[in-house]
Every structure is written in C-alpha cells, then in structure tokens.
Amino acid sequence: MNISIANRARLAFALTVLIAILAGTIWFYNTSGRFTTYQILTEDSVSGLIAGAPVEFHGVDVGRVTEVALTGPSSVRILLEVENNAPVTKATVATITARGLATRGFTGYVYILLDNVGTDQAPLTAAAGTRYPQIPSTASRSVNLDTAISQVNENVQSLTELLRTMLDEDTIASFKLAVGNLQEVTHMLADNQQRLSAIIANTEQASGRLGPLLDSSSDTVDALQQVSHMLAGNQDRLNSIIANTEQASVRLGPLLDSSRDSVNALQLQVLPEAYRTMSTLNRLSHSMNRLTDKIDRNPAVLLRGSAPPPLGPGETE
C-alpha cells in the first residue's frame, strides 16, 4: 500500500512537470510568434539601459530590450523584441531616452523610444548578411540624475562667481547712491504732484490743439509742393528771365554813371541859379506888397507920386 502511494506521488510529480514543460513550450511558441527581434547599433552612451527595459512606440509599450552588448571600444548593440502589430517601417527611428522621477523607480529609468519620422511605410527587413533588421538611432536623450545635479552645481557656481565679481564695494556703493537718488526723485514727484497734474492737463489741451496745426501745416506743405512743381515746370522761363536780368544789369552801369553826372551838374549849376532867382523874386514880391499898401492908404499917389520924405536935422531945400 505504501509502495502504491509512492508510485502515485511520483506519477503526479511527473505529470506536473510535464504539464509545466508543455505550458512553457506553448507560451514560448505563442510569444515568439507575436514578437519580432530588431537590433540597434549606436555609439552613444547607454548608461542605465538594461535587459528588460521597456520599448515604447509613440508613448505606448510595444516590447522590451532583450540584450545590451558592447561590440567595440565605442559601439553598442541593443536587441529588442517588438510586437508584430507595432507599425515599425523604414521610417522608424529609435532614441535612447531617460525619464526622471516616475512610477517605475525613484531615480527614473532608461527605455527605447520608437517613432516614425519619414513617409516610407515599407516594412523593415534584415539586410543581406545580418540576422536582425536594424532600426536607425538618433542622438541619445539619456541624462542621469548625477549628471543633471552636476550641471546644476556648475551653473550655480558660475553664477555665484559672476555675482561676486559684479557686486564689489564700488558697485554696491553706486547701487546705494542710485537708490538714494531714486528716493529723492520720488519725494520730489510726490511734493509736486499738483504741478505735474497741471502740466499733464495743459499738455493734453495742447495736444488737442495740435491737430488743426498739423492740418494747416500739411496744407502749407501741399502749397509749397505745388509751388515747387510750378517752378520745376517753368524752369526754362526762369532761366530766360535770369539771363535777361543779367544783361540788363550790365547795361545799367553806364546809365547810372550818366545819371550821377546829371545830378552833380544839377547841384553845382542849376540849383544855385535857382536859389538866386528865388531870392530876387522874393524881394520883388516884398516891394510890390509895400507899393500896394501905399496905394491903398493914399490913392493920390498914382497921380501926384509919392511925397518926398521930411528933411532931417540940418537939411535944407
């Protein structure tokens, strides 16, 4: 009876192992039929990328990394399994990308990002002499947390050194002086707020009157432009007038000389004779006035003549 129980136990264990092997084989064939293996050759750093890392196509999980191997001093081969229904074509490119703080790890993780960048939708096949189709890669966007912190630290140190060189004693004193001057200006503006309001109001009124002035100025400019166009249109006539004026100015010299001689003769000869004649006429006029007065007082003078003047002292007839 004990032997029978032991045989049954061995038989159950064997059946369990056989079923597990059969299930594994079925699962292997099913999964191997659902995925296609691709390879990526890159010279960029793949720090943080390990087997089992996810493969995403346009942000959706479509597979996983199966192998990361060094093929040379600066070259790496990456094998990845991608679902058959993923739209991998000749336009597909791969980018090694790192994510920061995420749900898959406190310090983030590195994964393969697939995306189409062209228009060639032909299926990607293996080249002659290669086992797997190759997906071209772009520049890596993998930056780990240590590198980021180091870059931030360097930037902070550079900024600190820049501030230290800029904010010396002279610069700080200049800043303080500028702040003091700014405070004085602020107080002055506050004290003269009413005047500033009046200035703003007057400026507003002046700006309102500026419109008609500009309109009149534009009219004046238009008029000047018309005059300019008229002068430009009559340029030949203006040139003729200038030439005639120049010729007349040449002939005007002798005329002025003769006029000067005439004026000199008038001043030296004619005017003195005219002055003497006027004096004689003036004396004759006075004599006629006296004679007229005598006739008015004594009309008999016309018949008898004028009486001789009385004799002076010591005179006899």
Give 198-229 pLDDT, tens digit per residue. Answer: 888 888 877 777 667 666 666 666 767 777 78
pLDDT value of position 314: 66
Residue position matching structure tokens 């006899």: 316
Q: Which amino acid is at 23?
A: A
Domain boundaries, given as residue ranges, for the chain: 32-143, 245-289
In three-state secondary structure terms, 242 is: helix
Residue position matching structure tokens 């400026």: 203
pLDDT tens digit sequence for 83-112: 988 888 889 999 988 765 444 444 457 889
Q: How confident is the model at residue 121 (pLDDT cuts 50, 70, 90)?
A: confident
Higher confidence at residue 252 or residue 122?
122
Q: Mean per-residue pLDDT for 9-34?
A: 75
pLDDT tens digit sequence for 135-193: 998 887 755 555 667 778 888 888 888 877 777 777 777 878 888 888 888 888 888 88
Element (H, E) at 248: helix 235-265
In three-state secondary structure terms, 79 is: strand
Burial environment of residue 301 by CB neighbours within 10 A (0 to 12, 13 to 18, 19 or more)? middle
pLDDT tens digit sequence for 233-276: 778 877 887 777 777 766 766 666 666 666 666 667 667 776 77
Q: Are strands 54-57 and 109-116 parallel, antiparallel or unpaired?
A: parallel
pLDDT value of position 79: 94
Element (H, E) at 60: strand 60-72
Q: Mean per-residue pLDDT for 49-57?
A: 90
Give the pTM.
0.40
Other CB atoms within 10 Å distance of the CB of residue 40: 23
Mean per-residue pLDDT of the chain: 77
